[in-house]
Amino acid sequence: MNNEPYTLQEYEPAHQPHFEQLYRNWFTGHFHRQPEAVDEYVLQHPEAAILEKGGAILVALHDDEIAGFVALKKADSNTHELTKMIIREEYRGQGVGEALCKAAIDKALNLGTHRVVLYSHSSLKAALSLYRKLGFTEVPLEPGIYSPFRCDVKMEIAIG
């Protein structure tokens, strides 16, 4: 990303309030309700929920301002879940999401993962288009992972 106006870095504890607030604002704005309990835990305790369990969180910066985040949550020994991808509104449509997703896939590969899954919603057209562009394909959605109001699509990509 050195040629781009964005830089990517690993999450640091000082990022937590920004991670939480950016995601919370997007979630409540899009779904018109508060994040679910599973989200609250990840947002308030990303080190315990993501990092300490073999995952990662990446941060996109533009001139030292946070432009977005993406997390990789370890699902099992061969799978990571791409989750909590959020781009600050003023940076959407500028390649930040694509850069974060590509970096997350590379990071997952470095973590020894052979598959990345994600859960999304059919109303998130731009995100779904990006995921398809990067090689994710839709697979059957198992019930009970997330509430149907916010998740009706599951996608995956084989890596490594």
What domain range is 87 assigned to? Answer: 7-116
Q: What is the tens place of the pLDDT at every residue in 51-67?
A: 999 999 999 999 889 99
Burial code of 52-73, b = ≥16 C-beta within 10 A, e = fewer?
Answer: eeebbbbbbbbeeebbbbbbbb
Q: What pLDDT band is residue 4 in, cutting at 50, 70 and 90?
A: low
Query: Is residue 138, in this structure, part of any structural domain at all?
Result: no
Judge contact between 104 and 82, C-beta under 8 A: yes
Query: Is residue 73, in this structure, part of any structural domain at all?
Result: yes
Query: Is residue 85, in this structure, part of any structural domain at all?
Result: yes
Nearest to 117 by CA among 87, 147, 139: 139
Average pLDDT over residues 91-115: 96
Strands 137-139 and 115-120: unpaired
Judge contact between 19 and 69, C-beta under 8 A: yes
Nearest to 93 by CA among 122, 71, 67, 70: 67
Domains: count for the chain: 1
Query: Is residue 109, in this structure, part of any structural domain at all?
Result: yes
SS3 113: coil
CATH number of the domain that residue 68 is part of = 3.40.630.30
Query: Is residue 18, in this structure, part of any structural domain at all?
Result: yes
pLDDT of the residue at 24: 96
In the structure encoding, which two tokens stand for residue 30, read together? Answer: 């899009």
The answer, as to whether pTM is greater than 0.85, is: yes
Query: Is residue 154, in this structure, part of any structural domain at all?
Result: no
Average pLDDT over residues 122-126: 95
Query: Is residue 158, in this structure, part of any structural domain at all?
Result: no
Q: What is the tens place of the pLDDT at every residue in 78-94?
A: 999 999 999 999 999 99
Query: Is residue 25, in this structure, part of any structural domain at all?
Result: yes
